Chain A
Amino acid sequence: DTAVSQTPKYLVTQMGNDKSIKCEQNLGHDTMYWYKQDSKKFLKIMFSYNNKELIINETVPNRFSPKSPDKAHLNLHINSLELGDSAVYFCASTRGLHNSPLHFGNGTRLTVT
């Protein structure tokens, strides 16, 4: 009964490749997020969707493109991968738009070689 599930858990790829990370939540939440955790463990928001509509788009290279086919899914596609993209990417979801705790997936560890 995983609440927020991400696939794959690990992703190793070469520079220049294109890859996708998928996220699904079965909590009935309206809002989903992508966060990036760097090697120093710092967490930074990248994107957020509310009912399939993009509501947060932080300063992220346009090689990163989120897609939300429905409110239970939020995928992240990355083009032309670079070494600096290596990180753990977390998907999260929440109900509502204010003061609600985020429920995180288990993360996808992306390694670019």
Chain B
Amino acid sequence: AQKITQTQPGMFVQEKEAVTLDCTYDTSDPSYGLFWYKQPSSGEMIFLIYQGSYDQQNATEGRYSLNFQKARKSANLVISASQLGDSAMYFCAMCFSGGYNKLIFGAGTRLAVHP
């Protein structure tokens, strides 16, 4: 069965510093996708970044990068140069082939950026 684990319920970081949010996953499917979403206090779910299991390079989107370590089954999100507006819940999610793009979510990490 597929599973996503986020072990950090809460994290804090100083403004302008980088922070890594951890995500590990478990699947026996060779083809899968990994996603990160941001949920600010206003409640909407914002897609940040995607990594495919066959992608050779780590995904990057602006200040977001995904540290994909396939052998360790980890897909950590790195946010560089943190901003106050980055304070939010962050969810790691996975889909797998044959799953009709069903996303399985981790429990989330609440990030607080301090000035």
Hey, which bits of chain A sit against chain B, CB under 8 A? Answer: 31, 33, 40-45, 48, 50, 55-56, 88, 90, 92, 94, 96-104, 106-107, 109
* For the complex of A and B, 8 pairs with smallest distance between CB atoms: A104-B45, A99-B33, A43-B105, A101-B47, A106-B44, A55-B100, A97-B101, A97-B100
Whether B91 contacts A99 by the Cβ 8 Å rule is: no
| A45 neighbours in B (Cβ, 8 Å) | 102-104
Whether A50 contacts B89 by the Cβ 8 Å rule is: no
Whether B105 contacts A98 by the Cβ 8 Å rule is: no
Assuming A42-B107, A45-B103, A55-B100, what are 13 further A-B pairs, CB within 8 angstroms? A31-B100, A41-B107, A42-B105, A44-B105, A45-B104, A48-B101, A56-B100, A56-B102, A100-B101, A104-B37, A104-B47, A106-B44, A107-B44
